[in-house]
Amino acid sequence: MAAMDVCLVSLGTTAGLRRADQALADALRRAGARVDLVAVARPRPLRTMAAQDLQLALAARRAVRDARAVVYSTVTAATLAPRAGAVRFDATAAGNRPGRHGLWQRSAERRALRRATLLLPWSEGGLAEVAAARPPAVVVPVPVDPTGPPVPLDERDVAAVTYGANPVKKGLDRVLAAWRVARRPGETLVVLGAPDPRPEPGVEHRPLLDAAGWRALVRRARCFVTAPRREDYGLAQLEALAEGTPLVTTPAPGPYAALPVARELDARLVGDDLAAGLRAALDAPAAGYPGRAAAALRPWRAEQVDRLVAERVVPALLG
């Protein structure tokens, strides 16, 4: 095993992607592989997604290093790659780059996926977005472990938490509109990372937190609320569920891995009437929700992902 060598090219454009890439690198190392995690420097912001993705793809091309195998994290990283390799992704450009946002990416993506040696989607939903003719694939979830035993809901001191970065895609406007209807005196919604926070009663804006700070906050929350217009995976939602925090969400297109879990745990909290879901979570939480949520996340535990990486991914990458 000592001769194994993988170059993992990481664009890391979001905190979730950076955590996912680090988790895969760690799992590969625990399986005995030598891994070079190459983080691509974040380029300057550009006006369109098409231009931004081109800049990222060129940076990823320059980042590839000699290795027995290469793993490109996100399809964007693989579109202009100098050599074939495995592709790790949450969703495809065909799914999340509609219209002019995917002007060149969708056709480049088809070529990149056809030449890939292995696909490593985060979820079955992500894999389903790939055309039928494709390379071999292994679905490898991003590992999500609880940071401790679930905190009883009646001991939590924050009413609700939501994620405010990328506000249009995450539906922050819809969350705030529902909160204005659902909120009662003394209740506070904490919004993390909103780019243009506007003061209003019962809403507290905070900057994005590191992983430990985020987990500590969500363990104090009586619910996590979100209304995405499209969801490529739902890592923040899965992390909230791992901490036993009820998930209040609208359905959304895309490979939303947390959605069926949330619906199974408490269908009252999943629907288009977000305000009603909030009040159900805050006034009448389902019995045993924290413990059941933590149990439902067992397939995402690091030990399960480690076994999958050791038994299926490493042999597929390195023969």
Read off the pLDDT of residues 88-131 as tens digits, 9 standing for 90 and up.
999 987 666 766 665 557 778 888 899 999 999 999 999 999 97
Range scoring the smallest mean pLDDT among 2-11, 51-60, 94-103, 304-313 = 94-103
Rounded average pLDDT over 42-69: 71
CATH code 3.40.50.2000 region(s) in the chain: 5-143+301-318, 153-299
CATH architecture of the domain covering 5-143+301-318 = 3-Layer(aba) Sandwich (3.40)
d(CA 97, CA 128): 16
So what's the pLDDT on residue 2? 43
Q: What does the pLDDT look like over 216-275, one tens digit per residue?
A: 999 999 999 999 999 999 999 999 999 999 999 999 999 999 999 999 999 999 999 999
- Contact (CB, 8 A) for 270 and 226: no
Segment holding 192, helix H or strand E: strand 189-192
d(CA 63, CA 36): 11
So what's the pLDDT on residue 167? 95
Torsion of CA 148, 153, 157, 161, to 10 degrees: 80
d(CA 210, CA 288): 29
Is 153-299 a domain of CATH 3.40.50.2000? yes
So what's the pLDDT on residue 101? 62
Task: For 229, list phi and psi in degrees, rounded to 5.
Answer: -80, -25
